[in-house]
Amino acid sequence: MTITHRFVDTNGIRMHLAEAGEGPLVVLCHGFPESWYSWRHQLEALAAAGYHAVAPDQRGYGQTDAPPRVSDYTQFHLVGDLVGLLDALGEDTAVVVGHDWGGPVAWHSALLRPDRFRAVAGLSVHWSGARGPMKPTDALRRFMKGKFLYVLYFQDEGIAEAEMDGDIRGFMRRTLYSLSGDIPRDQARFFNPDARCFNDVLREPDTLPDWLSEADLDVFVGEFERKGTFRHGINWYRCIDLSWEYMAPFAGRRIEQPALFIGAEFDVIHGQTREGVAATKAAIPNLREPIWIPDCGHWLQQEEPEQVNQALVSFLNSL
């Protein structure tokens, strides 16, 4: 199955997308620091199963436009980009799937535009369903009590960029390895509260994991070298308070569409637990039985593509 590429205009930006297959539309949303290439295994598998699979470079990434203002990266912008993508493709509805930061985009798309997104699947990041009483960064600072957390480290413009942009390949290599299931459990340190910078929570691999070849790394690195900076992806983190403010009118709204969560045993992001995901049923009444992939880390659709493909195809076929 051939993966093809094109550009569409959506929500005031020019968006690059990779696609394969024909049939009902499935939109695949990547996370940080990634690109459409994170879904390379799913594009072909979903196409073979009879679906039109589309993986865009999201706002600020790869060959898609990167607006200059921090405030251009709220969840409302990101959902708007996907609605415009459906319009550009001439589709009324789609199933939306998201991993990592693409997870919140997928969940918010289902929440805000149920008329356009008929089902939703989240990988790694579940939908909490609750809008907290204070700004997210205030809540995180209160919880961390001055200790290091990468989300807070990302808030000040220029600091993270200065650390990461000078060694794009090294940063990508260390990040992809350090959050994977391949790093020994006793060496995983992504949430080290005593860290002083992002590289302090990463580890250099002796060799690349089996699921990540040098050619794969070349693609990821090349996508960030196009813009020469991680700034635009980091801006997503800098908009969490603004998105929280904008979401006030939607507090308490439920996601009523069919939904799926796929988690991994060794995923350090958000410390996902079976109990925590099960508790989201109150906000997502049609959440299917969550799927947990053993012996796998954060990059589950790359680390264990066959298991993720099987889960997604089964979910899609059941709709």
> Quick one: pLDDT at residue 271?
57
Give 59's Cβ-side CA count (13 Å radius). 29
Enzyme catalytic residues: 100, 298
Residues of the chain with pLDDT under 50: none
> Quick one: pLDDT at residue 44?
97
| Parallel, antiparallel or unpaired: strands 94-99 and 25-29 | parallel
pLDDT (tens digit per residue) in 257-280: 999 999 999 998 865 678 888 888
Q: Where are the domains of the chain?
A: 4-318
Q: What is the rounded CA–CA span in Å between residue 29 and residue 18?
A: 11
Tell me the three-class secondary structure of the chain, residue by residue.
CCCEEEEEEECCEEEEEEEECCCCEEEEECCCCCCHHHHHHHHHHHHHCCCEEEEECCCCCCCCCCCCCHHHHCHHHHHHHHHHHHHHHCCCCEEEEEECCHHHHHHHHHHHCCCCEEEEEEECCCCCCCCCCCCHHHHHHHHHCCCCCHHHHCCCCCHHHHHHHHHHHHHHHHHHHHCCCCCCHHHCCCCCCCCCCHHHHCCCCCCCCCCCCHHHHHHHHHHHHCCCCCHHHHHHHHCHHHHHHHCHHHCCCCCCCCEEEEEECCCCHHHCCHHHHHHHHHCCCCECCCEEECCCCCCHHHHCHHHHHHHHHHHHHHC
pTM, two decimal places: 0.97
Preceding peptide of 33 cis, ω within 30°? yes
pLDDT (tens digit per residue) in 169-196: 999 999 999 999 999 988 988 999 999 9
Nearest CA to 97 out of 174, 175, 45 is that of: 45
Q: Which residue has the tokens 């290091």?
A: 148
> Quick one: pLDDT at residue 272?
62
> Quick one: pLDDT at residue 270?
62
The CATH class of the 4-318 domain is alpha beta
> Quick one: pLDDT at residue 153?
97
Q: What is the rounded CA–CA span in Å between residue 62 and residue 228?
A: 10
